[in-house]
Protein backbone atom coordinates (compact mmCIF):
# COMPACT_ATOMS: atom_id res chain seq x y z
CA UNK A 1 0.00 0.00 0.00
CA UNK A 2 1.37 3.39 -1.00
CA UNK A 3 1.11 6.08 1.65
CA UNK A 4 0.95 9.72 0.59
CA UNK A 5 2.06 12.76 2.60
CA UNK A 6 0.46 16.01 1.45
CA UNK A 7 2.07 19.45 1.27
CA UNK A 8 0.25 22.58 2.45
CA UNK A 9 -0.32 23.77 -1.12
CA UNK A 10 -2.44 20.69 -1.89
CA UNK A 11 -5.10 21.79 0.58
CA UNK A 12 -4.96 25.51 -0.22
CA UNK A 13 -5.16 25.09 -3.99
CA UNK A 14 -7.89 22.46 -3.64
CA UNK A 15 -10.01 24.86 -1.57
CA UNK A 16 -9.33 27.91 -3.73
CA UNK A 17 -9.44 26.32 -7.18
CA UNK A 18 -10.48 22.81 -8.15
CA UNK A 19 -12.20 21.25 -5.13
CA UNK A 20 -13.99 24.00 -3.22
CA UNK A 21 -15.90 22.78 -0.18
CA UNK A 22 -19.13 24.15 -1.66
CA UNK A 23 -19.02 22.36 -5.03
CA UNK A 24 -16.74 19.34 -4.58
CA UNK A 25 -17.23 17.92 -1.08
CA UNK A 26 -16.33 14.48 -2.46
CA UNK A 27 -12.65 15.45 -2.61
CA UNK A 28 -12.58 16.28 1.09
CA UNK A 29 -14.55 13.14 1.97
CA UNK A 30 -12.09 11.11 -0.10
CA UNK A 31 -9.16 12.57 1.84
CA UNK A 32 -10.81 11.62 5.13
CA UNK A 33 -11.63 8.09 3.94
CA UNK A 34 -8.12 7.52 2.59
CA UNK A 35 -6.67 8.84 5.84
CA UNK A 36 -8.69 6.33 7.83
CA UNK A 37 -7.39 3.63 5.47
CA UNK A 38 -3.80 4.77 6.15
CA UNK A 39 -3.12 5.98 2.60
CA UNK A 40 -3.24 9.78 2.96
CA UNK A 41 -1.94 12.07 5.69
CA UNK A 42 0.06 15.19 6.32
CA UNK A 43 2.10 16.50 9.23
CA UNK A 44 1.27 18.70 12.20
CA UNK A 45 3.27 21.65 10.85
CA UNK A 46 1.13 21.64 7.69
CA UNK A 47 -1.95 21.48 9.92
CA UNK A 48 -0.63 24.48 11.86
CA UNK A 49 -0.19 26.46 8.63
CA UNK A 50 -3.73 25.61 7.54
CA UNK A 51 -5.28 26.39 10.92
CA UNK A 52 -3.73 29.86 10.85
CA UNK A 53 -6.00 30.76 7.92
CA UNK A 54 -9.17 31.33 9.95
CA UNK A 55 -11.46 30.01 7.19
CA UNK A 56 -13.33 26.84 6.14
CA UNK A 57 -10.03 25.09 5.45
CA UNK A 58 -8.79 26.03 8.92
CA UNK A 59 -11.94 24.50 10.41
CA UNK A 60 -11.54 21.36 8.30
CA UNK A 61 -7.90 20.95 9.37
CA UNK A 62 -8.74 21.51 13.03
CA UNK A 63 -11.45 18.85 12.86
CA UNK A 64 -9.00 16.29 11.43
CA UNK A 65 -6.53 16.60 14.31
CA UNK A 66 -3.51 14.37 14.89
CA UNK A 67 -5.05 11.42 13.07
CA UNK A 68 -4.60 13.31 9.80
CA UNK A 69 -1.81 15.77 10.71
CA UNK A 70 0.85 13.50 12.15
CA UNK A 71 3.22 14.73 14.85
CA UNK A 72 6.93 13.96 14.55
CA UNK A 73 8.01 10.74 16.23
CA UNK A 74 11.37 9.19 17.08
CA UNK A 75 12.26 8.05 13.51
CA UNK A 76 11.70 11.59 12.18
CA UNK A 77 14.53 13.08 14.26
CA UNK A 78 17.44 11.30 12.50
CA UNK A 79 15.69 11.91 9.18
CA UNK A 80 15.80 15.66 9.92
CA UNK A 81 19.58 15.31 10.12
CA UNK A 82 19.71 13.62 6.72
CA UNK A 83 17.53 16.31 5.16
CA UNK A 84 19.63 19.01 6.79
CA UNK A 85 22.87 17.45 5.55
CA UNK A 86 21.47 17.26 2.02
CA UNK A 87 20.29 20.90 2.05
CA UNK A 88 23.55 22.29 3.38
CA UNK A 89 25.67 20.24 0.96
CA UNK A 90 24.09 21.92 -2.08
CA UNK A 91 24.70 25.35 -3.55
CA UNK A 92 21.63 26.98 -2.01
CA UNK A 93 21.91 30.51 -0.68
CA UNK A 94 22.15 30.77 3.11
CA UNK A 95 18.75 32.50 3.26
CA UNK A 96 17.15 29.65 1.28
CA UNK A 97 18.55 27.08 3.70
CA UNK A 98 17.48 29.09 6.75
CA UNK A 99 13.96 29.50 5.37
CA UNK A 100 13.70 25.80 4.49
CA UNK A 101 14.58 24.83 8.07
CA UNK A 102 11.85 27.14 9.42
CA UNK A 103 8.90 25.94 7.32
CA UNK A 104 6.84 22.77 7.15
CA UNK A 105 8.60 21.57 3.97
CA UNK A 106 11.69 20.49 5.94
CA UNK A 107 9.59 18.43 8.36
CA UNK A 108 7.42 17.04 5.55
CA UNK A 109 10.42 15.68 3.66
CA UNK A 110 11.94 14.26 6.86
CA UNK A 111 8.67 12.56 7.82
CA UNK A 112 8.38 11.05 4.34
CA UNK A 113 11.98 9.86 4.56
CA UNK A 114 11.48 8.34 8.02
CA UNK A 115 8.26 6.51 7.14
CA UNK A 116 8.52 5.77 3.40
CA UNK A 117 5.75 8.11 2.25
CA UNK A 118 5.30 9.44 -1.27
CA UNK A 119 5.32 13.24 -1.10
CA UNK A 120 2.45 15.03 -2.85
CA UNK A 121 2.91 18.67 -3.84
CA UNK A 122 2.11 21.17 -6.56
CA UNK A 123 5.75 22.31 -6.51
CA UNK A 124 8.01 21.40 -9.42
CA UNK A 125 11.80 21.02 -9.37
CA UNK A 126 13.83 24.16 -9.90
CA UNK A 127 17.48 24.99 -10.51
CA UNK A 128 17.18 28.15 -8.42
CA UNK A 129 19.53 28.54 -5.48
CA UNK A 130 17.15 31.02 -3.79
CA UNK A 131 14.56 28.50 -2.59
CA UNK A 132 14.70 24.82 -1.73
CA UNK A 133 11.81 23.12 -3.48
CA UNK A 134 10.27 19.95 -2.08
CA UNK A 135 10.76 17.98 -5.34
CA UNK A 136 14.48 18.84 -5.35
CA UNK A 137 14.85 17.60 -1.79
CA UNK A 138 12.92 14.44 -2.64
CA UNK A 139 15.07 13.74 -5.69
CA UNK A 140 18.23 14.35 -3.68
CA UNK A 141 17.10 12.00 -0.91
CA UNK A 142 15.66 9.27 -3.15
CA UNK A 143 12.01 9.93 -2.32
CA UNK A 144 9.10 9.79 -4.74
CA UNK A 145 7.34 13.12 -5.23
CA UNK A 146 4.16 13.41 -7.29
CA UNK A 147 1.39 15.87 -8.10
CA UNK A 148 -2.03 15.55 -6.49
CA UNK A 149 -3.50 14.56 -9.85
CA UNK A 150 -1.06 11.68 -10.15
CA UNK A 151 -2.00 10.61 -6.61
CA UNK A 152 -5.71 10.71 -7.45
CA UNK A 153 -5.13 8.64 -10.59
CA UNK A 154 -2.89 6.10 -8.84
CA UNK A 155 -5.46 5.74 -6.06
CA UNK A 156 -8.31 5.58 -8.60
CA UNK A 157 -10.24 8.35 -6.91
CA UNK A 158 -13.71 8.92 -8.33
CA UNK A 159 -15.81 11.98 -7.62
CA UNK A 160 -19.15 11.00 -9.09
CA UNK A 161 -21.84 13.60 -9.57
CA UNK A 162 -24.78 13.08 -7.28
CA UNK A 163 -28.12 14.81 -6.88
CA UNK A 164 -27.89 18.55 -6.30
CA UNK A 165 -28.81 19.71 -2.80
CA UNK A 166 -32.18 21.34 -2.52
CA UNK A 167 -32.14 25.09 -2.15
CA UNK A 168 -34.61 26.39 0.41
Measured CA to CA, the distance from residue 75 to residue 83 in angstroms comes to 13
Confidence of residue 76 (pLDDT cuts 50, 70, 90): very high
Confidence of residue 134 (pLDDT cuts 50, 70, 90): very high
Averaged pLDDT, 149-162 = 93
Residues 144, 138: contact at Cβ < 8 Å? yes
Strands (E), the chain: 4-6, 40-43, 69-70, 118-120, 145-146
Confidence of residue 161 (pLDDT cuts 50, 70, 90): confident
Averaged pLDDT, 81-102 = 98
pLDDT at 38 exceeding the cut of 80: yes
Domains along the sequence of the chain with CATH? 4-154 (3.40.50.1010)
pLDDT at 164 exceeding the cut of 80: no
Residue 128 has a pLDDT of: 97
The residue among 49, 40, 42 whose CA lies nearest residue 102 is: 49
Q: What pTM, to 2 d.p., does this model score?
A: 0.94
Compute how many other C-beta atoms are within 10 angstroms of the C-beta atom of residue 136.
Answer: 22
Amino acid sequence: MTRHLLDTNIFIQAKNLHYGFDFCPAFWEWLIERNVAGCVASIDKVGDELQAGGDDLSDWATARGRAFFLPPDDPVLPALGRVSAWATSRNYEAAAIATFFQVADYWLVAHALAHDFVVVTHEVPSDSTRKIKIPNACIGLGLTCISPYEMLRRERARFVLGPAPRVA
